[in-house]
Amino acid sequence: MSDKCAHDVATVLTEGDLLGHDTHGLILLKPYLDAVKRGDMLGDGNFKELSARPAVANWDGNFLPGPHLTLRAIETATSMAKKYGTGNVVIRRSSHIGALAAYLEEPARKGFLVQLVCSDPAVGNVAPYGGTEPLFTPNPMAWGIPTSNDPIMIDISASTTTVGMSARLHQAGKTGEHNWWLDADGKACNNPSVIFQNPPGSLLPLGGLDAGHKGFGLALFIEALTSGLSGYGRADGVDIWGANVSVQITDIEAFGEKQAFLKQMDHLVEQSVNNKPANPEKPVRVPGQRGLAYKREQLEKGVLLHEAILPSLNELIAESGIDGPVIIG
């Protein structure tokens, strides 16, 4: 990769682990580099602007590294927002972008409301509600919301669990704690391996068997924001692992006084964390609170890598002849 692309990939994958998203951190490094070797991800080059207006743009990412493209899109959308109040950049043919939460903190701390959504038109893991055949990816969605202190950082998906977590359980020969998967006949189960079988099962949409129409609806809207607006997706027979991405940045001061926004959000945070917990040992947390605390702790004491990460990392270290991480515990 070029120095810039390599730096952006390293930054985003490390941030994923710092925030505790260890299925979307350095565990992705080998798959990314394998994609470069196959030619499915380009390590250098330029994206192409397909269309644009003052506050929107549509890019062809040319399968450059997803972290590189997404960080550039955030920069561009932020410049738009400073001038027009909001900016929206859509990217077709990006490579995988990692953990969405990894992109939220910096712009949110600067006073920008962040929305980031993603889909992969080459992959199907989630059946539409009431169906049995995988169609959608988990279609993650994330929002960064400024407050007077730590930002609220929401990173969720339109499915009940992720492919990364399913793969980790599958490789370890473990089952899940809940019936988050459907087998190929549409029966709910706690076996993540069903999505790797032939015919494949699927991840349940958000809401499960009872309210999965909600996750189905969210998945459809994310497809509209990504593949629909980019004009490229499942209808085109895509077969390269990657992503379609939509980034929206909003300048909260374009709508009024910054303090008025912060007053409302600070109040909601305070009322949430002070809400009487159902279990006194598990007080209410706002999204992002645990991840940011975990990041501060790791920056001070060292990064805790999941045991599944080190084998592939050690393989890459041996191939490249560089020093590995120092084990401190």
Task: Give the model confidence (pLDDT) of 15-54 as tens digits.
Answer: 999 999 999 999 999 999 999 999 999 999 999 999 999 9
Of 105 and 325, the one with more pLDDT:
105
Domain boundaries, the chain: 1-157+211-329, 161-203
For the record, the structure tokens of 80 come out as 């738009």
Q: How far apart are CA 317 and CA 328, in angstroms?
A: 18
Same fold, 1-157+211-329 and 161-203: no
Q: What are residue 30's phi and psi, to 5 degrees?
A: -65, -45
Q: How far apart are CA 272 and CA 294, in angstroms?
A: 20
Judge whether residue 329 has pLDDT over 70.
no
- Computed from CA positions of residues 329, 323, 14, 148, in that sequence, does the dihedral angle turn out positive or negative? positive
Q: What DSSP assignment string belongs to 94-148? A: E-----GGGGTHHHHHTTEEEEEEEE-TT---BPPTT--S--B----EEEEE--S
The answer to whether 249 and 78 have CB atoms below 8 angstroms apart is: yes
pLDDT of residue 170: 95
Q: What are residue 86's phi and psi, to 5 degrees?
A: -150, 155
The residue among 136, 143, 135, 93 whose CA lies nearest residue 115 is 143
Q: How far apart are CA 328 and CA 50, in angstroms?
A: 48
- Computed from CA positions of residues 274, 277, 283, 288, in that sequence, does the dihedral angle turn out positive or negative? negative
pTM, two decimals, is 0.95
Domain topology for 161-203: Wheat Germ Agglutinin (Isolectin 2); domain 1 (3.30.60)
Among left, alpha and beta (phi > 0; psi -120 to 50; other), residue 45 is left
pLDDT tens across 178-208, in order? Answer: 999 999 999 999 999 999 999 999 999 999 9
pLDDT of residue 225: 98
Instruction: Give whole-number Cα distances, 211 to 113, 129, 132, in Å.
Output: 29, 9, 16
Q: How far apart are CA 172 and CA 329, in angstroms?
A: 23
Domain topology for 1-157+211-329: Ribosomal Protein S8; Chain: A, domain 1 (3.30.1370)
Provide the CA 18 distance to its chain's centre, in angstroms. 14
| pLDDT band at residue 307 under the 50/70/90 scheme | confident
